[in-house]
Every structure is written in structure tokens, then in C-alpha cells.
Amino acid sequence: MAALPFYVSPEQIMQDKAEYARKGIARGRSAVVLRVEEGILLAADNPSAGLHKISEVYDRIAFAGVGKYSEFENLRKAGIRHADLKGYTYSREDVTARSLANAYSQLLGTAFSQEMKPLEVEIVLAEVGYNGRSDEIYRVSYDGSIFDEPLFAAVGGKAEPLAALLKERLPEIPSLSRGVKLLKEAFAEISGATMPLSQIEAGLLERASTGRVFRRLGGDELAALSGGQP
Amino acid sequence: MDTLSFRAFSPPFDSSSFVEVLRASGRLPAALSLEVPAIGTLPHATTVLALRYEGGVVMAGDRQASEGYQVASRAISKVLPVDRSSCVAIAGAAGPALEMARLFRVEIEHYEKLEGVMLSTPGKANKLAQMVREALPMAMQGLVVVPLFAAYDPESRRGRIYKYDPAGGRYEEESYHANGSGGLFARNALKMLYREGLSRDEAVEAALRALYEAADEDLGTGGPDFVREIYPTVFTMDADGVREQTQDDVAAYYRAFVVGLRKKE
């Protein structure tokens, strides 16, 4: 007698995949992308100095990824290739965070529905505005769903309590130094441990700058911004 | 897994080279990879130069593009910043040369973004040599592109200059170099003006003086244009990054210089 084929409903498959991805992402640490007066601040709770979670993508666009390193690193590289190719073929002004976020959304959506194993990542794309263009922050989830965040995006680890905490303490757009202090406190509170500055990877998309406006904030600069305590 | 090779974004690839991505996407400019038919006279960029000073390097170029005996453009820029520490200057067929400079810039930026670190100065210079070599078929047809590369090298904390030949040969220069139709005259002037340990200001003045001499002797090189207010482009590279001299500064230098010349007469 042949074995009866299993039937698993599509709902069940999707649910299982979503749960698998969510668990994978929640195991890691968090990253936050936050609008500040000076531009857009990207910060991640990241004990490694070499394996980055935030990165420059293009002139005014930056990337933050959480979850499985190999997977979001691949996505980061694909995004940079996409942006450089587009900027070289057309013009540097034609590279936008919105089109990149769409490409990521397609990619993650396809991977989620067609592959056995969904990508265990959540990524954020931020573009700092100028000349009257507003700041844009897009959060793309493991299943390809895309969210346009008005003030900030918190992803990875205990993202939900972190987002709730930030929402409560962020009535309006803070200054850069206020933003750094706030994130340091928030990371510490959520992880329930002290958060030395050396464990925070941070970068800034500078609004007032021209050309490639992303720069990393080193330990000294972070210490100065957060008021001196290391 | 198909999706993990990210076909949706670009061809599967595992390299930090933008040129390779471009080639795989089929968009590498024909002028940089294939043979192109020889075309009569095309705009040519003329004189560019670079010289070292204490802790840095200055790079300058005139603004004229020449088409045979005619002026093709009075205000092109031949010195182009590549990143936070280097510039490339182009001489030769203006179209392909500018395209090469643009591609070189993206190549360097692409590497830096993917790898998270900048290419070393010799690494950048080698990459440019490869691009010149790839343009060899084009050079054989008369569209010669000869760049000049200058960078502040944070490793050795000094300026470095690389010159190229059309076959992709790469040679580091210890003191100064000038390229293009007026290159010989500029080199002769720099030979007189150069010494070890120039200050930044002295080096900028030497560069401007050498460009003046080149424009004086060479038909293809444009001198300071007081009527249209077009002056040479000058960039300096040192520990403070890449800085462009303002056109006002350059104009002020030439005004004073020309007054000095008249007095001698």
C-alpha cells in the first residue's frame, strides 16, 4: 500500500514560515533608524567592530539589516550593485530609496513564497531629504511587506517593545546628540544590560552635506554626542 | 537557490568590481571594451598636470577641449575628484576619457561600499591601469586616452602621482608630471619650479604658472580667460581631504601674475 501523501494547507505553510523567520530575527540584536534634525541616524546594537549592520548604499541612502548576517549582507551587496548600476546608467539623482525598497520587497516576497526556507532578515532603507524633499524611511520585512515609517524604524531582537519605548519618548524629531543618548538608553533598557558605546555601531546621513553624505560615527564622536560617558 | 543569487537585482556575481557587474549586465560602454571605427577629429582634452608638495599633491588642468585647430569647448573640467583622497585628470579623446573617469570613480566607490574599506592607493592606480589597457583597441584607432592619477596616500602620509601610457603601463612619478598636447611645456616649467618640500600654496602657484606656460606655447591649451572668466581647475589632496581652489583664488593669482609680466616689459 502506497503511503498517503501529506496534505498541508497553504495557510499552515505560510504561518510556519513566518514563525520560523520571526524567531530567527528575534534571536538577534536590534537596529534603529531615526530621523534627527541633522539628518538620519542609524544605530545598531552590535558587539562586532568588523561585521557591520549598517552601511552606505548611495549618495543619500543608507541601509540597516538585522537577522542572519550572511543573508542581509547579500541583500546589502545586491542593493549597492543595483544602485551603482542605476546611477551609472542614468544619473546619480535617479537612484532613490523608494525604488530600492521596492526591489527588496519583491525579492523578499518571492523568497518567502517560493523557497522552503524564508530569509531571516528585516531591513531598513533610509534616504535623507534635501531641497524640499522629505526624509524617507522604509522597513522591509522577511515576507516582503514594506512599511513607510514617518519618524523611526526599529527592527530585530525585541523590536516591538523597543519601538513602543521610542514612540513614548520621541514626541518630535530630536537633535543628533539627544537621539544618540535616547538610543543608548533604549538599547540598554531593552536588553536589560549596560550598553557600552563600543557596542553601538552608528552612522549618520548628514542632511547639510553634499555628494556621499553617509559617515560612520566613531567611538570618540559618539562619546562626545552622548555627553561624555563611555 | 535561485533567489539567493539575487537574479532580481543583477546577474549572480561575487566580486567587488563594478566594471564586472557592468559587463555582466551588458552595459559596459562599447568605447571601453570593443573596437570602434576611427572617427576623424574629435574633441581632445589638452594639458593636465600634478605635482607633489609636503604632505600632499596638487592636480590642475586647463579648461579647453580642442577639435583639430578649433576650440570644441572652453569650459570642460579635466580634473575629476574620485573619492575623499584622490583625483584623476584626463588627456586625449575627451568623450571616452571622461567616460573612463566616470566609470573609474564608480568602480572605486563601489569597492569601498561593498568591502567597507577603501582600496589602497596602489590598488586604485592598478585598477586604472587595467581600464587604460582595456581601451587599447580604441587607442590603436586613434582615440588615445591617457589619464593621470594623483592621491593622498594615508598609509605613507604623502601625495602620490601615477602616469600611464596608452598600453596600460603604469609608472609612479616622484615629483611632478604633465600630460597632453601642452604637457611638454608644462613639464619644462615644472622642472624649473619644483623642489622638495614645497608648501601647498607654493605648489598651487607652480601648477598655475606651468599651465600658463603651456597655454603660451601650445595652441590646444587654453590660458586664463579674463573675458569669459574661465580659469583652470585646481585640486589639492592632503590629510584634509580633496579641496578645490575657488575660481576667485585662481583668477586673483593670474591677475597679479599678468601685472607682473607687464612690468618686466
* pLDDT for residue B2 is more than 50: no
Q: How many domains does chain B have?
A: 1
Domain range enclosing B154: 41-264
Q: Of A48, A51, A76, A85, which to mutate for an interface test with B (greatest number of B Cβ within 10 Å)? A: A85
Nearest CA in chain B to A50: B116
Per-residue pLDDT at B265? 59
Band (pLDDT 50/70/90 cuts) for residue B30 is: low
Sequence-distant contacts of B186-194: CB under 8 A, at least 24 apart: B186/B47, B186/B49, B186/B210, B186/B211, B186/B213, B186/B214, B187/B49, B188/B213, B189/B213, B189/B214, B190/B49, B190/B51, B194/B51
Residues recorded for chain A: 230
Strands A61-67 and A54-58: antiparallel
Contact B65, B72 (CB under 8 A): yes
Query: Where does residue B180 rank: exposed (0-12), middle (13-18), buried (19+ CB within 10 A)?
Result: buried
Question: CB B8 to CB A81 under 8 A?
Answer: no
* pLDDT for residue B200 is more than 70: yes
Contact B65, B222 (CB under 8 A): no
Per-residue pLDDT at B92? 85
Give the integer Cα–Cα distance in Å for B106 and B135. 17
Q: Of B10, B25, B113, B243, which to mutate for an interface test with A (greatest number of A Cβ within 10 Å)? A: B113
Tracing cell 573612463 back to the chain, one arrives at B100
The verdict on residue B162 lying in a domain is: yes
Per-residue pLDDT at B12? 52
Give the integer Cα–Cα distance in Å for A13 and A87. 39
Give the integer Cα–Cα distance in Å for B234 and B232. 6
Give the integer Cα–Cα distance in Å for A140 and A101. 7
Among A125, A146, A40, A129, smallest CA distance to A75 is for: A125
Tell me how close the Cα of B9 comes to any Cα of chain A, in angstroms. Answer: 6
Inform me whether the C-beta atom of residue B3 falls under 8 Å from chain A C-beta atoms: yes
Tell me the CATH architecture of domain A28-225: 4-Layer Sandwich (3.60)
Inform me whether the C-beta atom of residue A178 falls under 8 Å from chain B C-beta atoms: no
Give the integer Cα–Cα distance in Å for A222 and A88. 34
Nearest CA in chain B to A71: B4
pLDDT digits (tens, 9 = 90+) for A165-213: 999 998 789 999 999 999 999 999 998 888 888 999 999 999 999 999 9
Per-residue pLDDT, averaged over B241-259, amounts to: 95
Band (pLDDT 50/70/90 cuts) for residue B20 is: confident
What's B84's domain CATH number?
3.60.20.10
Percent of chain A's residues with pLDDT above 70: 97
Nearest CA in chain B to A58: B113
pLDDT digits (tens, 9 = 90+) for B81-115: 999 999 999 988 888 899 999 999 999 999 999 99
Contact B111, A86 (CB under 8 A): no
Question: CB A107 to CB B21 under 8 A?
Answer: no
Q: Which residues of B are catalytic?
A: 46
Give the integer Cα–Cα distance in Å for B96 and B135. 9
Tell me how close the Cα of B153 comes to any Cα of chain A, in angstroms. Answer: 20
The verdict on residue B13 lying in a domain is: no
Q: Which amino acid is at B32?
A: L
Number of neighbouring beta carbons within 10 Å of residue B184: 15
Inform me whether the C-beta atom of residue B26 falls under 8 Å from chain A C-beta atoms: no
H helix runs in chain B, sequence order: 18-24, 30-33, 94-115, 121-134, 136-140, 183-193, 200-217, 247-264
pLDDT digits (tens, 9 = 90+) for A63-122: 999 999 999 999 999 999 999 999 999 999 999 999 999 999 999 999 999 988 999 999
Listing DSSP states for A150-216 in one string gives: SSEEEESSSHHHHHHHHHHH-SSPPPHHHHHHHHHHHHHHHHTS---GGGEEEEEEETT--SS-EEE
Per-residue pLDDT at B13? 55
